[in-house]
Structure 1
Amino acid sequence: MTAPAEVEATKLIAEGSRILYEQRVLDAFGHLSCRSPVRSDSFFISRSLAPALVTAEDVVELDFDCAIVSGAPDTRLFLERFIHAEIYRRRPDVQAIVHSHATAVLPFTLVKTARLRPVCHVCGFLEGVPPPFDVADHAGPSTDLLIRNATLGRQLADHLGDANVVLMRAHGYTAVGGSVQQAVYRAVYTIKNCEIDLSSRVLGEPTYLTAGEAAACEATTAEQVRRTWDLWAQEASSGGFRTQ
């Protein structure tokens, strides 16, 4: 019998996927997952489906080898499910993960001198983001840049380290959190931080948050994550698919 907490987890994946679409973090691609609230060695993620279309019934449970624990055995899964499995395996503190290809972030994955650093008070979580992960460093110059297997997943998880976000060259980024709400918040505000950074460069070199400011800002905004989730959930449920 499915535990109530597991039912709630599948609903969160569906709701969070819709929020991420409405907030332009995900389009037809990308995915959200959460660690099982019952078993620490498995996670919930949608079957391979555009995020805006995900319902609770589309969510399956996978173990860290990406085998199906609950769900139809012939379910078509995301190619990059290994991102989630290996980060969960390495980071017991992580309870949810978002993988995105948002175009506002991509320039920071391409230009080696353009480090992703926090520029505003709601983005303190971006302190300590490592340089972009490059699949070519591990699998050569002729891949499709996807994390298609556990080996690449482990290498990405190692590159993430203890940070909250990892960039992926010519690909996108992955954000982690202690809850679905926090991971979604970080995925959304990573984009906003990049947009602010890029637009401010028209005027000159941005002034970034100090490490101390980033830590203090993160401590404050961590208490406000639920406010953003409640707003975004209401927006996602009230208007159908976005029209602009």
Structure 2
Amino acid sequence: MDERRLREAIVEIGRRLYERGYIVASDGNLSVRLPESGRILTTPTGVCKGFLTPDMLVVVDAEGRKLEGILPPSSELAMHLEIYRQRPDIHAVVHAHPPCGTGFAAAGMSLDKPLVSEVVLTLGCIPLAGYGTPSTEELVAAIAPYVPHYNALLLANHGAVTYGPDLETAYFRMETLEHFARITLVAKLLGREQPLPAEAVQKLFQIRERAGMTVPSQALCGLPDRAPSSDETLTLTRQQLIELIAETVEAVIRFLRLAR
């Protein structure tokens, strides 16, 4: 894809992120590697990514020095450059603040349980990187240990970052992250998460390997030895059951209203 079309693609993905509520105001940033040049095309800082135009984008070199553009580049550019430095296979990065995923990040909770087969298959584990002050080297240091092993990260008390071989893949990984966060939240509200057994997860990773989607995250995923037994008995009084159902229904309704 040539630079003109990449600029148009960034504008489109910025619009999608904004319309889905994954970013607000001047939140978030996107970038792509420009083919065969070693340069990076990135969003500018301080503007709403939902209303970009192609001429607003900025070209920088591999060290982050501005080469083209009127506006200053993203203030979080160093995070993007670290991902590109560690992962030659990566050609696009998306950073956003999707509400549910960011809620998990703010709660200090990762999304690394194998609860949904499609997520294990397409994305793998989503760990929580420690907190680093945005736009500083602290954030770069926080993500650095995870970048070689994962394609999506939660950023503690901050947001999420996803990356891939092209911009569309990086964006869809952000969609998957947020979708999985919502599913996980509903499972928690219902009072039980039931992970896939290790054998099932291994089969999914084998499919990933055959499809060429694997990074060395398999050894780092915390997999259960077995799935919880479906015949485990939970004892509740009638009143406790009524209260649990009422609380769960109320919590799900609140969540669905917030998710609109």
Deviation for aligned residue 1:115: 4.1
- 1:35-46 equivalences in 2 (<5 Å): 35-39=33-37, 41-46=38-43
Residues 101/205 of structure 1: CA separation in 2 closer, same or farther (3 Å cut): same
Measured in 2, the distance between the counterparts of 1:190 and 1:128 equals 10
Q: Distance in 2 between matches of 1:156 and 1:111?
A: 18
> Does the CA-based 8 Å contact 2:33-2:92 persist in structure 1?
yes
Work out the CA distance in 1 between the residues paired with 2:118 and 2:101. 17
> Structure 1 runs of 4+ off > 6 angstroms?
217-220
1:19 alignment partner, SS class = helix
Q: Matches of 2:145 and 2:39 in 1, distance apart?
A: 19
Q: Which runs of 5+ in 2 are unaligned?
A: 214-259
Rounded Cα–Cα distance in structure 1 between residues aligned with 2:210 and 2:28: 28
2:134 alignment counterpart? 146
Residue 117 of structure 1 aligns with an amino acid whose one-letter code is K
* Alignment partners' CA distance in 2, 1:31 and 1:156: 16
- Whole-Å separation in 2 of the counterparts to 1:94 and 1:5: 17
Of 52, 55, 75, which residue of structure 2 is paired with 1:54?
A: 52
Q: In structure 2, what is the equivalent of residue 8 of structure 1?
A: 5
Q: Any idea what SS the aligned residue of 1:98 has?
A: strand
1:87 aligns with 2:74: no
> Following TM superposition, by how much is the alpha carbon of 1:154 offset from its aligned partner in structure 2, in angstroms?
5.0
Higher-RCO chain (CA-CA 8 Å, sequence separation at least 6): 1
Give the aligned partner of residue 163 of structure 1.
150
Identity of aligned residues (%): 24
1:8 to partner: Cα distance? 1.4
**Is residue 2:207 matched to residue 1:211?**
no
Q: 2:128 aligned to 131, 136, 141, which one?
A: 131
Summarize the alignment of residues 223-242 of structure 1 with structure 2, pairs less than 5 Å apart: none
Report how far residue 86 of structure 1 moved: 1.3
Higher alpha-carbon Rg: 2
Question: Is the alpha carbon distance of 1:114 and 1:164 closer, same or farther for their aligned partners in structure 2, counting shifts above 3 Å?
Answer: closer
Tell me if structure 2 keeps the 8 A contact 1:62–1:70: yes
8 Å contact from structure 1 (residues 175, 183) kept in 2? yes
TM-score (norm 2): 0.70
Aligned-pair CA distance for 1:94? 0.7
Segment drifting more, 63-72 vs 48-57: 63-72
How far apart, in 2, do the equivalents of 1:59 and 1:114 lie?
Answer: 32
Q: Which residue of 2 aligns with 1:30?
A: 28
**Residue 191 of structure 1 aligns with which residue?**
178
Matched position secondary structure for 2:42: strand
| Total equivalences in the alignment | 206
Q: 1:67 aligns with which of 65, 68, 91?
A: 65
